[in-house]
Amino acid sequence: MGIKRDISHTVWSVRGNAVMDVVTRSLEPLIAALRAAGYTVVGPTVKDRAIRLTEISSAAELPDGTGDVQEPGNYRLTERDDGMVFGYAASPDSAKRFTQPPRQTLIRSRGQVIEEVEPEAPRIALLGLRACDLAAIAVQDRVFLGGRHPDPAYRRRREALFLIAVNCAVPGGTCFCVSMGTGPKATAGFDLALTELAAPHRFLIETGSERGARIVAAIPHQAATGDDVAAADEVSRTAAGRMGRTVDTEGVQEWLPAAHDHPRWDDVASRCLACTNCTMACPTCFCSTVEDVTDLSGDVAERSERWDSCFTLDFSEVGGSPVRGSQRGRYRQWLTHKFATWYDQFGTSGCVGCGRCITWCPTGIDVTEELSAIRYGTEGPSCIR
Amino acid sequence: MDARQTGRRPRLAVWKFASCDGCQLTLLDCEDELLSIAAEMEIAYFLEASSAPGPGPYDLSLVEGSITTPEDAERIRHVRRVSRRLVTIGACATAGGIQALRDFADVREFTSVVYARPEYIATLERSTPISANVPVDFELRGCPIDKRQLLEVITAFLADRRPVVPGHSVCVECKARGNVCVLVAHGTPCLGPVTQAGCGALCPAYNRGCYGCFGPAETTNSGALNAKLRALGMSDPDLVRVYRTFNATEEPFRRASEEAEGDA
């Protein structure tokens, strides 16, 4: 496979160009074709009372008839009676685990010999990503591949991923991708993008890359009709009107950093556990730390990288004590970086509006509410629709 | 001078005070690595493993258990005197253990209920961690301790480096492991957000809430967590009980339980 080019520009064709959208009735041939092409297929399944991204071998493992309810600090699965396979909002799992694994060994030394550790880059087809997830991958591409020091291990993992988006039909109560301009329709950065259509139940497939086109060619399909395309557009239009939340980011690069001494930071600190769940669940939070360990004999030493968070004390430890010792300071740093100073660093917002930090915060801190309170005060416009 | 620099194997001692022996067993549970430890260190004093005690001094002493009797208060001073490095292992040695629940009550009342002849019982009013009695070089948390962390502490001692034992919350390990959050997705009460990592997020991996075995994390906000736990239906007496287990007298957990008790 391996199309050699900058993977941050993988849009190979878009609707209206030479490649026609197609329609297929079952995902079984798609999964089989991906497996035949050497990919491990990772898709949504119901596990531990949540929609999880796990390895699947059959469409029967997809979460047919399962929906979810998401609100600050709360996630529950529900039953759907409409037979939708992808009738849920953002899963607790994003693509981050696959682009940036929780732990990876960087170097190993035996005696005086330093060994480079070959980064693992399994060929994985991620099925069921949302537009927000693709936007998050694009943010991570800028973080890891932009600038003067691109990360070769990230590049290898990234190139080994085959991305299959499924356009979001049922956004959750904590979603705000419309506000962030990242969804709900996937427009770029995918190999294939599916839209689930009802009555009759089928999937419209858009192709976003050459390798995507090769997979489509290998499965039974029909050309999409104008009605199919219109129906798919309607799915995304309806979804756009169902965002659980909104956020006003106009001028955020000015007013958020300027709010350094806002009393709201103390208020949010009183609710913040500094537990790191928001950053761990966030699909763009990329911070890591490096750990050096030795073995008992002292002959072998290993340096590994693991997920870290700006909410831990070690993260900002300089000269034996943390620079940001207060919860207030750490929350302010995270929110300000995510929504404002990320632009200075990477030329984009760090937030894609997936709502995971809101849902998975144990105490239900809502970034849209915090931003609104900082900008307008608590009497200002509500972020909750 | 470092034992390794002198060419002899450093001498290891393992001591027991008021405890259940579970943390010492963690050392025996090392199995595969136990031979490597024996290759690098002389296991000089470890009554749980060998009835032949070797004389001191020792380069590294692992101390299990809390101080609950006048005799033990003396004995720990002896252990400190004969140990170059002293590392406490487990919640008892580090935080007083479950037996520190006596700190919230009258120990004489307990002895009068439990023992036929309570006057034979010589016990202290409080169960104290080792650090309240003698200086310690490192405290390894957990009830019981985690095998990987124990190996890391021993290895770090041998390499004369700082052990990699982070003070952050269980949530960091839980998310890295790929667990779904039981608090958010199941409504299961969990102390993970205020508890120090180290166990590998064991209980949440099996869809159970964290019991706080490793004691308070580097920063805690139990007021905020208690609000969530109350919203999940926990009563104030329930809250008092979850904080008063193996690390009840650790200051953040003590405050958390007292806050709940005050509201009761």
Tell me the CATH number at B115.
Answer: 3.40.50.700
Best of B175, B188, B226 to disrupt the A interface (most A CBs within 10 Å) is B175
Q: Contact B193/A292, CB-based, under 8 Å?
A: no
pLDDT band at A84 (very low <50, low <70, confident <90, very high): very high
Residue B165, in any domain of the structure: no
Percent residues over pLDDT 70 in chain A: 93
Q: Are residues B196 and B102 in the same domain?
A: no
Helix A210-217 to helix A28-36 angle, to the nearest 10 degrees?
Answer: 120
Average pLDDT over residues A5-18: 42
Min Cα–Cα distance to chain A from B166, Å: 8
Residue environment code for A318-334, b if the CB has 16+ CB neighbours within 10 A, otherwise e: eeeebebeebbbbbbbb
A49 contact B CB<8A: yes
pLDDT tens per residue across span A125-162: 999 999 999 999 999 999 999 989 999 999 999 999 99
Least confident of A342-356, B44-58, B206-220, B230-244: B44-58
A368 inside 8 A of chain B by CB: no
Chain B residue whose CA is closest to A290: B164
Give the DSSP per-residue string, A362-385.
TT---HHHHHHHHHH-TTS--SB-
Q: What tens digit of pLDDT does each residue of B187-202 get?
A: 999 999 999 999 999 9
Q: Which of B135, B159, B183 is the last residue of a domain?
A: B159
Structural domain count, chain B: 2
pLDDT exceeds 60 at position B2: no
Whether B259 shows a pLDDT value over 80: the answer reads yes
Q: Specify which of A111-115, A197-201, A352-356 reaches the highest per-range mean pLDDT.
A: A352-356
List of residues 6+ apart from A235 with CB closer than 8 A: A167, A169, A195, A196, A197
Identify all chain B residues contacting A298, using CB atoms and an 8 Å cutoff.
40, 158-159
Q: Where are the extended beta strands (E) located within A182-308?
A: 192-197, 202-207, 222-223, 288-294, 300-307
Regarding whether B105 and B151 lie in a shared domain, the answer is yes
* Whole-angstrom distance, CA of residue A125 vs CA of residue B130: 53
Domain boundary residue, one of B100, B124, B159? B159
Q: Do A280 and B159 touch (CB under 8 A)?
A: no
Q: Are A371 and A231 in contact (CB under 8 A)?
A: no
Q: Is residue B231 a part of any domain in this protein?
A: yes
pLDDT of residue B231: 95
pLDDT of residue A16: 44
Confidence (pLDDT) at A327:
95
Q: How far apart are CA B189 and CA B235, in angstroms?
A: 12
Mean pLDDT estimate for chain A: 93
pLDDT beyond 90 at A46 = yes
Q: B118 lies in a domain? A: yes
The pLDDT tens digits of the residues spanning B93-132 come to: 999 999 999 999 999 999 999 999 999 999 999 999 999 9
If 0-12 CB within 10 Å is exposed, 13-18 middle and 19+ buried, where does residue A343 land?
A: middle
Could you tell me which residues come within 8 angstroms of residue A325 by beta carbon, excluding any fewer than 6 positions away? Answer: A313
Q: Is residue B1 included in any domain, yes or no?
A: no
Same domain, B236 and B152: no
Nearest residue in B to A295, CA atom: B155
Residues of chain A found within 8 Å of residue B168, distances taken between Cβ atoms? 276, 309, 312-314
Q: Tell me: do B126 and B28 sit in the same domain.
A: yes
pLDDT class of A380 with cuts at 50, 70, 90: low
Q: Is residue B77 part of a domain?
A: yes
Q: Which of B159, B193, B222 is the last residue of a domain?
A: B159
**Residue in this structure with the two tokens 């040695």, named with its chain if needed:** B93
B interface test, pick of A70, A275, A327 with most B CB neighbours within 10 Å: A275
Q: Are residues B252 and B154 in the same domain?
A: no
Q: Is the pLDDT of residue A14 over 60?
A: no
Asked whether residue B141 falls in the same domain as residue B238, the answer is no
pLDDT of residue A17: 45
Clarify whether residues B197 and B220 are in a common domain: yes
Is there a single domain that holds both residue B115 and residue B225? Answer: no
- Chain A CB contacts of B38 under 8 Å are none
What pLDDT sits at residue A219? Answer: 96
Tell me: do B235 and B111 sit in the same domain. Answer: no
Q: Is the pLDDT of residue B263 over 70?
A: no
Residue-level pLDDT at A146: 94
Q: Do A291 and B224 touch (CB under 8 A)?
A: no
B142/A377: higher pLDDT = B142
Residues 6+ away with beta carbon under 8 Å from A97? A53, B178
Q: Are residues B63 and B121 in the same domain?
A: yes
Average pLDDT over residues A81-107: 96
Q: Does residue B55 form part of some domain?
A: yes
pLDDT at B4: 57
Residues B118 and B195 in one domain: no
Closest-CA residue of B relative to A326 is B219
Give the model confidence (pLDDT) of A206-241 as tens digits: 999 999 999 999 999 999 999 999 999 999 999 999
- Asked whether residue B103 falls in the same domain as residue B193, the answer is no
Whether B4 maps to a domain, the answer reads no
Share of chain B above pLDDT 70, in %: 97
Q: Is residue B3 part of a domain?
A: no
Is residue B1 scored above 60 in pLDDT? no
Q: Which of B150, B47, B49 is nearest to B93 (CA)?
A: B150
The phi-psi region of residue A43 (left if phi > 0; otherwise alpha if psi is between -120 and 50; otherwise beta) is beta
Q: Determine the structural domain holding residue B26 and report its residue range.
A: 11-159
Cβ of residue A18 closer than 8 Å to a chain B Cβ: no
pLDDT of residue B51: 85
Cβ distance A307 to B176 less than 8 Å, yes or no, reads yes
Chain A residues with beta carbon closer than 8 angstroms to that of B166: 312, 314
